[in-house]
Structure 1
Amino acid sequence: MMAKIAVLLAAYNGESFIVSQVNSILSQLDVDVDIYIRDDGSTDNTVGVIERFAGLHNVTIIAHKVSTRSAAGNFFKILSEVDTEKYDYVAFSDQDDIWDPEKLSRAVSKIVDGDCEGYSADLIAYSNSKGYSRYLKKSYPAKEFDYLFQGASAGCTYVLTSKLATLVRKSTQNLGSTDFIGRSHDWLVYAIARAHQMRWCYDAYAPIFYRQHASNVYGAMTTMGSLFAKVKLVRGGWYRSNVLWIAEHCGAGKKEDAIIELVRRNGFWDRLKLIGHASSFRRKKSESRVLSLFLFFGLF
């Protein structure tokens, strides 16, 4: 029997891209897919475009009432309205990518083989307008506390078991839409899984063509301009604020208490102690070294 999968697609001003993405999801092989699409108050013709799919038996359009004002809020709004327990798996989808036809079936195989509850993968970032493509490796080995400091990969690669999806829905059901502004759904989902000692699969394969354009919320962060923008966010306190927010809402317990208290106090000696643990905060070694520098110079 084919795995039954709910794909949650968060839409906003995506009229130029969303048709090709929906078609790539509908073309998935060896799985039974239902797509749930919610527009978050687009000012272009996205609503008109997605309504063309409304007649399909496996596409559900979730009515927009109030904008969540964030991609994370939109995803969790969709999740709150889907009966996750009637599916085997739940996947997240951006509106502007293209999926490999075997993306979902491969994820299911990896989850089953690894006895995992969550799955993420590498990506291929590309831009038609700029004429480039780049492989984005995200599948570095897990570290003890990485989930407090980063997500597993781009959320569009995620596939969750029904068990994990239901846990995420229950963990976020009391949060309001505005609570997600400036937050990352992919980071929180990964943290919930790891904080509850659930196994996660990191696939060293790229099943998604990750489209880059001017309207990306975060994008691949591969240009110098975007990297400087990321540094500015860290210096402005965005990153530290998110670490504390993730810890508050992921179900972190005694294991994480000492690390979170150091982050919260953020004094000089606290940061030195954090530097001593930095290799367990990011999966990629170079990123651990960069984080150590930020901590040392008080930029965290």
Structure 2
Amino acid sequence: METPFNSVCMATFNGERFIEAQITSILSQIAPNDELIIADDGSTDQTIAVIKSIKDSRIKLFKGNNFKDPIKNFQFALKQTSGVNIFLSDQDDVWLDNKYALMLKQLENYDLVISDSQIVNEALEPLYPSFFDYFNSGKGVIKNMMKSSYYGSCMAFRRSVLISALPFPDTKEIGHDLWIGLVAELTGKVCFYKKQLILYRRHEHAFTPVNVGKSKRTKMQMLRGRIIMIKEVAKFIIFKNLWKKD
């Protein structure tokens, strides 16, 4: 019988500056039979070369994608995973010691766990000691539809959550991490784990803004996004017959 293993899932695009440090921090913690799935979305810098320079059989690199969309690239990456539990990872952060072990321990009792993090600049110098405090993170479907605190770089979940979450809604209004978080809340147990387990690096080329939580969208754009979210969540509840849950 094959020994159960876990997957770490990373979507990359032009991440040559910071990706080596992140991969190294992950490989130093995960088990010998785990896998690090990396899906690259058409990088034009040296991202692929940096990844290939790290000789470790746990790395499974999928290159040549041309989604031009981090949500679709993450969905592709997640479909390649085979692990019992799945960790999400950005290309530019750094895992702190014991993240892997502590998150796995929490997953014994929860379907999805999201840890706190330290917000740092590109040189890993502290900006804010607690992402949770800065962002008022916490559970709640309505709360997170209004302002998401599900950030994938800090998340790990059971395979059952992924099976329920796929395929992702075909819209850019709901990030892959927010969708997974909402699905986990609707179908199981979620833990916001109050330990800072990654250095959450902010820089000008990051997918999420340097000023975390600050949106440049107009009120009409935000309203449209909320309406789309409500429709997608309602469709999910109806399709999964969740209103019949005790």
Length-normalised TM-score, structure 2: 0.83
Aligned to 1:252: 237
> 1:77: Cα distance to partner?
1.2
Give runs of aligned pairs for residues 150-169 of structure 1, distance below 5 A. Answer: 150-169=147-166
1:252 match: secondary structure: helix
What is the identity, as a one-letter code, of the residue corresponding to 2:163?
Answer: T
The answer to whether residue 177 in structure 2 is matched with residue 193 in structure 1 is no
What is the identity, as a one-letter code, of the residue corresponding to 1:160?
Answer: F
Cα distance change of structure 1 residues 77 and 245 upon mapping to structure 2, 3 Å threshold: farther
> 1:235: Cα distance to partner?
2.0
Q: Distance in 2 between matches of 1:142 and 1:157?
A: 14
Deviations 1:101-142 (A, max 9, x none): 211211111222xx2111101111111459542121157453
Where structure 1 has 5 or more consecutive residues not aligned to the other structure, the ranges are 255-300
Q: Distance in 2 between matches of 1:32 and 1:252?
A: 36
> 1:246: Cα distance to partner?
3.0
Larger % of helix: which? 1
State the number of aligned residues. 233
Contact 1:29–1:101, Cα closer than 8 Å, also in 2: no
Contact 1:25–1:101, Cα closer than 8 Å, also in 2: no
Aligned to 2:242: none
Length-normalised TM-score, structure 1: 0.69
Contact 1:40–1:74, Cα closer than 8 Å, also in 2: yes
Q: Distance in 2 between matches of 1:247 and 1:132?
A: 36
1:233 match: secondary structure: coil
Cα distance change of structure 1 residues 202 and 22 upon mapping to structure 2, 3 Å threshold: same
> 1:3: Cα distance to partner?
6.6
Give runs of aligned pairs for residues 144-293 of structure 1, distance below 5 A. Answer: 145-169=142-166, 171-172=167-168, 179-181=170-172, 183-196=174-187, 198-219=188-209, 221-222=211-212, 227=214, 230=215, 232-237=216-221, 239-250=222-233, 251-253=236-238
Q: Distance in 2 between matches of 1:143 and 1:4?
A: 30
Q: Distance in 2 between matches of 1:184 and 1:32?
A: 30
Deviations 1:135-181 (A, max 9, x none): 21157453363343343432111101111122223x43xx6xxx354
Contact 1:121–1:153, Cα closer than 8 Å, also in 2: no
1:72 match: secondary structure: helix
Identity fraction in percent? 19
What is the identity, as a one-letter code, of the residue corresponding to 1:204?
Answer: K
Cα distance change of structure 1 residues 93 and 32 upon mapping to structure 2, 3 Å threshold: same
The answer to whether residue 123 in structure 2 is matched with residue 133 in structure 1 is no
CA RMSD in angstroms comes to: 2.7
What is the identity, as a one-letter code, of the residue corresponding to 1:163?
Answer: S
Where structure 2 has 5 or more consecutive residues not aligned to the other structure, the ranges are 240-246
